[in-house]
Structure 1
Amino acid sequence: MTTTTEAVKESLLGSGHPATHSEEAKAAFEKHATITTPAGERAMTRADFVNAIAPESADYHKISRDQFGILFEVADRAGAGYLTLEEWAAFESLLSKPDADYQIAFRRFDVEGKGEVKFDDLVAIVKANKSDDSLPFDWDSAWATLYAGSPKKRHALTYEQFSQMLRAIQGEKVRQAFQAFDPQGTGFIEVADFMRIVQETAGHKLSNHILDNLTTFVSVGTASKIPYANVRAFQNVMREMDTIDTVLRSATAKSKDGKITRAEFLNEAARITRFSHFTPLEADILFHFAGLNQETDRLSWKEFNRVLDPLYRQNAASAPKSVASPSQSLIQQALESAYNFGLGAIAGAFGATMVYPIDLVKTRMQNQRSNLVGETLYKNSIDCFRKVIKNEGFKGLYSGLGPQLIGVAPEKAIKLTVNDFVRTKLTDKNGKITFPLEMLAGGTAGACQVVFTNPLEIVKIRLQVQGELTKNVVDTPRRSALWIVKNLGIVGLYKGASACLLRDVPFSAIYFPAYAHLKKDWFGESPTKPLGIMQLLTAGAIAGMPAAYLTTPCDVIKTRLQVEARKGQTSYRGLVHCATTVWKEEGFKAFFKGGPARIMRSSPQFGFTLAAYELLKTSFPLHSDEEKHGKPSVGLASDSSPLNYLRSRNAMKIILDLDKNFGKHTLPADKAAWAAATGAKSA
């Protein structure tokens, strides 16, 4: 299990580019290869191969692990009895194909490797792998003729033809088996015969709940035997499990109590499917197996889950998250929102605290009126920093921190939430958004945050500058944040709001698009390449530089409007008056006072906030390890195996449609046995 320290380290450095197939293949090969070929190469035996693609710890339901040896014959195209690294890498590459399951099945029967399956080869391989007690199947039937031509004019099957034939063969096996058990043509078979048909044609795909209760199937209807219509309806239900799953998730999610009736299932199926509507008989079969031992016709996901999931666990308790009741969903969303808001508040407070002295210096520099004699208290930002410590102590660097910490949580939450919301609404159906619309989303976020930030900033700024005032003006009382709020009133708290808007709108309009493009275009962020904290920190810092500096004039005006004018200083009447007065009295250069300090504050503040947020998420996760890794403790049993392993398993299920005993080899436990058979030696 990954420790918190390791997880934090990985998040700091980033996961980088995912390993290529050759790197993955080499690592797996080195782990499992146990012999050396006569040429001196390391190699895999059949047993090694099975261990690599079918780990002993995994659950393969009704498939025996040794049956995965079928796939070894696909990988070992040279027929050497062992696999080299090149052959293993080629098989791994095959598994990465989106249609790998059918590709594997096709190559198993393409004996000559020419891209086609000869019908006689197919029949010979199937017969060689079936047991004497398997269900009979006529390969010279009219069905086979439709796919491969008449017995005297058989043609080879292309990949597409072969795949489609495999898709249909299970239905033909059921039909032929039914006829074999009903030689008189009555249209009925015994329950025991029905059970055998199901076990041999679909037993490797069905849940234990269904297989253990097949004897009850006779109660679906009024006859004492099983009619053909019921057999085909059962087969259709089993084949359409994925569609049924979708319908049930939708129907139970809409239900107030999470339960539905047969009629509600059929109604929902009619709403969300087009051509695969379920017949009343098929609905009866579904509800029959789901409702066993239940006293009501209204069933929940827990009951349906016993039918749907071949890996169903008897102790599964309730519906998965995706089908939670509306009240549960709202509670869960509220908890997640509170969790994210809480971590954001803590992280934001940490980031603000780390750079607060820079913010105080920036405010002092911007408020300094250089046109008045005796007003120039600080030569530059460094001189300001030094004099604050000398005159007010280290504590003076944190004057006004309280209001800043109170406001940072709603500020960050509103800014990020609004930007994401507007950006999503402005993104087209292809997932693209133009740069002007990106700026509009960012600007909207900046405008919305002013509701919270302006009152808090005016209090913070007045607390930041009163330190120098009480030090230089005799008998000047030190005011508290509460006194300032009461003195200003509601209207006074929004003094300078127009300048705050003028600063925050362009800041966010510049910052968010720049940040998004730096992550995507410079660092190459993608769904398969998440960035580490250092990369995110760098992107945020760089994006914050132009945003902070270019909006400095607006920040200077806002600061001047929000700071109470001292005796002898000009009182600004508004945004325009402040701007024109600063221009006339101090010149254009005054508009960029504190610009470097803004860059030094904004960039690292984002970095500190993000780093703290990631550390908190890693140290105090909301979900358990099971939930994080896609293994819910209740409901539908999920499989977190790599996709290529899942595809090899699906290929096995397709091949087993031909015969349940296909590939039941006995793997030699002694590696020396393979060495003797292949001329190789144990590693």
Structure 2
Amino acid sequence: MAGESSTSPSHALAVVSAFLHLSTPTDAERAKSLFTRHASAVVNGESFLSRADFTSAIRPKHELFALGDAHADLLFSVADRSRRGLISLADFTNFHALLAGPHAEIEILARLVGDNKGVAALTVDDLKAFLSTRRSPAAAPFDFGSEALRPLLAVAAKRPLSLNELGEIVRVLQAERLRLEYKRLDPKNSGTISGADLRALVGVTARHRLSARLLENLPIAFPQASFADVLALHSVLSKLDVVDGVVSKLAAANAGAGITKPAFASAASRALTYDLISPLEIDVIFRALGAAAGAALEPAAFDALLNPSYNPVAPASEPVRLSAGMEVAKSVYNFALGSVAGAIGATFVYPIDLVKTRMQNQRSKVVGQLLYKNSWDCFKKVLRNEGFPGLYSGLLPQLVGVAPEKAIKLTMNDLVRSKVKDPKTGEIPLWGEILAGCTAGGSQVLFTNPLEIVKIRLQVQGEVAKAGIEGAAPRQSAVGIVRQLGLFGLYRGVGACLLRDIPFSGIYFPVYAHLKKDLFHEGKNGKKLSVVELLTAGALAGMPAAYLVTPADVIKTRLQVAARKGESTYSGIIDAAVKIRREEGFRAFFKGGLARVFRSSPQFGVTLAAYEFLHKTLPVDFGDEPQDHNHAQQSSSLTPSEAGLRSTIRVIGDLSIAK
């Protein structure tokens, strides 16, 4: 539904898994599944991954980080330990396990440097030779004689490097690279570089770590940048998971409120230590994101920092437009789900509807016609005299008509709400909600009236047959009733039907929307309502709507049921209202009112809950929803192997290693 729940295929899979109690697959199972899905080469009956297959298998299917072809080729050389240009299932499983292990980035770097010989044989000379030949030509050469590197290299000069030593050397090399690049841009040692130079420096040293939007904003955010600013920015880009954790906690604790620099600092100080995130780093974060002094940032604004593949969503003033074909496909999709949901809701409460109809048709002032004392008495007598099938008399035409009726009602409500929604805020004014509901109620009468008149006449036939009422019409089938009434007869009482359905929907849909938002807090902190909450909201919204339009429903029933001998006949809405008031009193207008509440309330609750549940479990992306760049889907959504792959790509990028 427009502006409401946005569903995705991953959400549908999660729902199905929950129902089937499936466990999360292990990394080994994921590796086997990926291999089976992508392996296209076959040698002697055994399947293998080609270079292209391997790239497709490990490439992330989300936007949390990117994998270029050059880096994929490097990783292929690590996985292809047999040097045959093909990856077997065993090779891929081992590589996948390597990615999922601790410090995968250093282990993979060791294999790259040692040409897959393993870290036990790796020397400092191997590392120097590898970096001198495999680094990007645009990168400044490392100074292995620097003060920072010399003590580390001296210890390991005459023996193989341990994995821990390699990791520490890499960390220092990253800092050295920043120093060298900064020195190249500030040859006179003035202490600062321009914003354009900062963008160039970051573009060379950390382009793989930040989004294009953030990179382009650097000259504006930092007209002049010191080396301390450069170090702080690089440190921030190395600990995005830490920043994401602070932002997520603040967003959850202060729903709807922006995040200020003091609030961020306070939250960071409670959860972290100075060593993990410093005051200068916090200042750099807010400056890089373009926050004015003292201004607050929305949690979504941090996406440009947290997601290297960040792309800004389409402006609200330029909504995504669907093609005519996609508009038709979306309408058919909504119509089909509305039809199924409507049939479920109608079947669920049909016995109550039958009792309601018989109570409304009972003329209490006509001698001998008082068949039922109340709704409960009616229910018991139907069950006793006509059996359980009697409670479902007329269900078939109800189902035939309720599908298009409920579908057009739900679809029209969605359509009008989408048209009156404020394009900037996404809010719908109250008058717009009422208009959408009234339009939905009026549009359904095309299907409602013929359905109602056939259903009602079938519902009262059972009592006629069992009671032997004199002057009653002979029992008919649904087809016989349609033939008897003809086209115009099927729309008898249409005015009363409009008088009932328009205000009903005008009350129901706004109340339903506000109950979801105000009572169950839908959308707050990204909350999505459960089926029980949807059902409860739908049921509560139906209570006032159903009871308040009961007088119109009584008049409609009297107009549509064939009068028996001795009963009053009505020529229209006003005539019916006058005669009912004169013969039976004002209370007659609310006959079956409680039955309507017990029928309409759960029916619409079940229908809408089914409709939204079907939307969530059978989602179709029509391309009209803006991308949701949610900072909360950062590292928490990565599998161990994906996290290892991301770290590996970062280290390779930090060292400017190219194919």
TM-score, scaled relative to structure 2: 0.52
Q: CA deviation at 1:513?
A: 0.3
Tell me which amino acid in the other structure corresponds to 2:381.
K
Q: CA deviation at 1:580?
A: 1.1
Residue 201 of structure 2 corresponds to which residue in structure 1? 169
Matches within 5 A, 1:579-618: 579-610=577-608, 612-613=610-611
CA contact (8 A) 1:361 1:381 kept: yes
Q: CA deviation at 1:612?
A: 4.7
Q: Decide whether aligned partners of structure 1 residues 6 and 423 sit closer, same or farther in structure 2, where only a CA change above 3 A counts.
A: closer
- CA deviations on 1:104-144 (whole Å, 9 max, x unpaired) are xxxxxxx9xxxxxxxxxxxxx99951799999968245xx3
Residue 510 of structure 1 corresponds to which residue in structure 2? 507
CA contact (8 A) 1:358 1:600 kept: yes
Q: Distance in 2 between matches of 1:166 and 1:454?
A: 71
Q: Decide whether aligned partners of structure 1 residues 545 and 418 sit closer, same or farther in structure 2, where only a CA change above 3 A counts.
A: same
Matches within 5 A, 1:442-453: 442-453=437-448
Q: Are 1:426 and 2:434 counterparts?
A: no
Q: Decide whether aligned partners of structure 1 residues 331 and 361 sit closer, same or farther in structure 2, where only a CA change above 3 A counts.
A: same
Residue 449 of structure 2 corresponds to which residue in structure 1? 454
Residue 112 of structure 2 corresponds to which residue in structure 1? none
CA contact (8 A) 2:182 2:201 kept: no
Matches within 5 A, 1:162-311: 165-169=197-201
Counterpart secondary structure, 1:571: coil
- CA deviations on 1:391-434 (whole Å, 9 max, x unpaired) are 22222211111110001111111111111111121122322222
CA contact (8 A) 2:12 2:618 kept: no
CA contact (8 A) 1:201 1:659 kept: no
CA contact (8 A) 1:552 1:592 kept: yes
Counterpart of 1:357 (choices 348, 351, 361) is 351
Counterpart of 1:558 (choices 556, 559, 563) is 556
Q: CA deviation at 1:7?
A: 2.2
Counterpart of 2:464 (choices 458, 461, 469) is 469
Residue 574 of structure 1 corresponds to which residue in structure 2? 572
Counterpart of 1:385 (choices 368, 379, 382) is 379
Counterpart of 1:394 (choices 388, 393, 396) is 388
Q: Distance in 2 between matches of 1:646 and 1:351?
A: 37
Residue 51 of structure 2 corresponds to which residue in structure 1? none
Q: CA deviation at 1:341?
A: 3.4
Residue 633 of structure 2 corresponds to which residue in structure 1? 642
Q: CA deviation at 1:600?
A: 0.6
Residue 300 of structure 1 corresponds to which residue in structure 2? none
Q: CA deviation at 1:169?
A: 2.4
Q: Distance in 1 between matches of 2:648 and 2:12?
A: 38
Q: Distance in 1 between matches of 2:544 and 2:401?
A: 24
- CA deviations on 1:625-652 (whole Å, 9 max, x unpaired) are xxxxx9xxxxxxx999932479999999
Structure 1 vs Structure 2 CA RMSD: 4.8
Residue 129 of structure 1 corresponds to which residue in structure 2? 173
Q: CA deviation at 1:167?
A: 2.1
Tell me which amino acid in the other structure corresponds to 1:473.
I
Matches within 5 A, 1:611-626: 612-613=610-611
Q: CA deviation at 1:466?
A: 1.6
Residue 264 of structure 1 corresponds to which residue in structure 2? none
Q: CA deviation at 1:572?
A: 0.3
CA contact (8 A) 2:445 2:501 kept: yes
Q: CA deviation at 1:473?
A: 2.8
CA contact (8 A) 1:445 1:508 kept: yes
CA contact (8 A) 1:170 1:658 kept: no
Counterpart of 2:15 (choices 7, 32, 49) is 7
Q: Distance in 2 between matches of 1:423 and 1:5?
A: 29
Unaligned runs of 5+ in 1: 13-56, 70-110, 112-124, 174-199, 206-309, 312-325, 624-629, 631-637, 663-683
Q: Distance in 2 between matches of 1:457 and 1:562?
A: 8
Q: Decide whether aligned partners of structure 1 residues 349 and 656 sit closer, same or farther in structure 2, where only a CA change above 3 A counts.
A: same
Q: Decide whether aligned partners of structure 1 residues 202 and 433 sit closer, same or farther in structure 2, where only a CA change above 3 A counts.
A: closer
Residue 522 of structure 2 corresponds to which residue in structure 1? 525
Q: Decide whether aligned partners of structure 1 residues 361 and 127 sit closer, same or farther in structure 2, where only a CA change above 3 A counts.
A: closer
Q: CA deviation at 1:518?
A: 0.2
Tell me which amino acid in the other structure corresponds to 2:491.
Y
- CA deviations on 1:540-562 (whole Å, 9 max, x unpaired) are 00000000001111100111111
What is the identity percentage for the equivalent residue pairs of Structure 1 and Structure 2?
52
Counterpart of 1:347 (choices 327, 336, 341) is 341
Q: CA deviation at 1:337?
A: 4.8
Q: Decide whether aligned partners of structure 1 residues 133 and 450 sit closer, same or farther in structure 2, where only a CA change above 3 A counts.
A: closer
Tell me which amino acid in the other structure corresponds to 2:607.
T
CA contact (8 A) 1:414 1:448 kept: yes
Residue 440 of structure 1 corresponds to which residue in structure 2? 435
Q: Decide whether aligned partners of structure 1 residues 131 and 562 sit closer, same or farther in structure 2, where only a CA change above 3 A counts.
A: closer
Q: Decide whether aligned partners of structure 1 residues 170 and 612 sit closer, same or farther in structure 2, where only a CA change above 3 A counts.
A: closer
Q: Are 1:139 and 2:183 counterparts?
A: yes
Unaligned runs of 5+ in 2: 1-8, 21-63, 76-98, 107-147, 149-168, 211-307, 310-320, 622-626
CA contact (8 A) 2:382 2:391 kept: yes
Q: Distance in 2 between matches of 1:435 and 1:204?
A: 45
Tell me which amino acid in the other structure corresponds to 2:512.
Y
Q: Distance in 1 between matches of 2:437 and 2:198?
A: 54
Q: Distance in 1 between matches of 2:619 and 2:415?
A: 25
Q: Decide whether aligned partners of structure 1 residues 202 and 550 sit closer, same or farther in structure 2, where only a CA change above 3 A counts.
A: closer
Q: CA deviation at 1:330?
A: 6.6
Q: Distance in 1 between matches of 2:589 and 2:475?
A: 29
Q: How many residue pairs align between the two structures?
A: 397
CA contact (8 A) 1:10 1:532 kept: no
Q: CA deviation at 1:611?
A: 5.2
Residue 364 of structure 2 corresponds to which residue in structure 1? 370
CA contact (8 A) 2:538 2:606 kept: no
